[in-house]
Structure 1
Amino acid sequence: MKISARNSLIGKVKSINEGAVNNEVVIEIAAGVEITSVVTKASCEALGLTVGADAYAVIKASDVMVAVD
């Protein structure tokens, strides 16, 4: 796989919560560290996502905000 995004994190699909149009996919990238994404049901099916499967969380953003208390 080649991709231009600089932040690509491998993990395991922890859960898939199906909705009417979109699915919420949780990928565990390290013990206790999760990334959640909302993708269309069609994309979830096309990617063959299943719980326990390996998957990449690919993060592409032009802006990242940082905040502190």
Structure 2
Amino acid sequence: MEISARNALKGSVKAIALGAINAEVTVEVSPGVEITAVITKASAEKLGLTEGKTVYAVIKSSDVMIATD
């Protein structure tokens, strides 16, 4: 896989919640560290996502926001 994004974190699918249109995919990138992404249901099916499958969480963003109460 070749990709221009600098933040590609290898992990395994921990959970998938399929909705009518979207899928919420939780990826464990290291023990106790999870990233959740919302992608289309069609993309989840095309990628053949299943629990335990090795994937990359690719983060491409120009902004990261932090907030506190």
Residue 63 of structure 1: CA displacement? Answer: 1.3
Moved over 2 A (4+): 65-69
Counterpart for residue 64 of structure 2:
64
For normalisation by structure 1, the TM-score amounts to 0.92
**What TM-score does the superposition give when structure 2 sets the normalisation length?**
0.92
Aligned to 2:15: 15
C-alpha distance in 2, partners of 1:59/1:34?
13
Gapped regions of structure 1 (runs ≥ 5): none
Matched residue, 1:47: 47
- In the alignment, structure 2 segments of 5+ residues that lack a partner are none
Equivalents in 2 of 1:17, 1:67: separation in Å?
Answer: 27
Query: Equivalents in 2 of 1:66, 1:39: separation in Å?
Result: 23
Q: 2:22 aligned with 1:27, yes or no? A: no
RMSD: 1.3
Which amino acid in structure 1 is aligned with residue 53 of structure 2?
A
Identity of aligned residues (%): 64
Secondary structure, in 3 states, of the residue corresponding to 1:42? helix
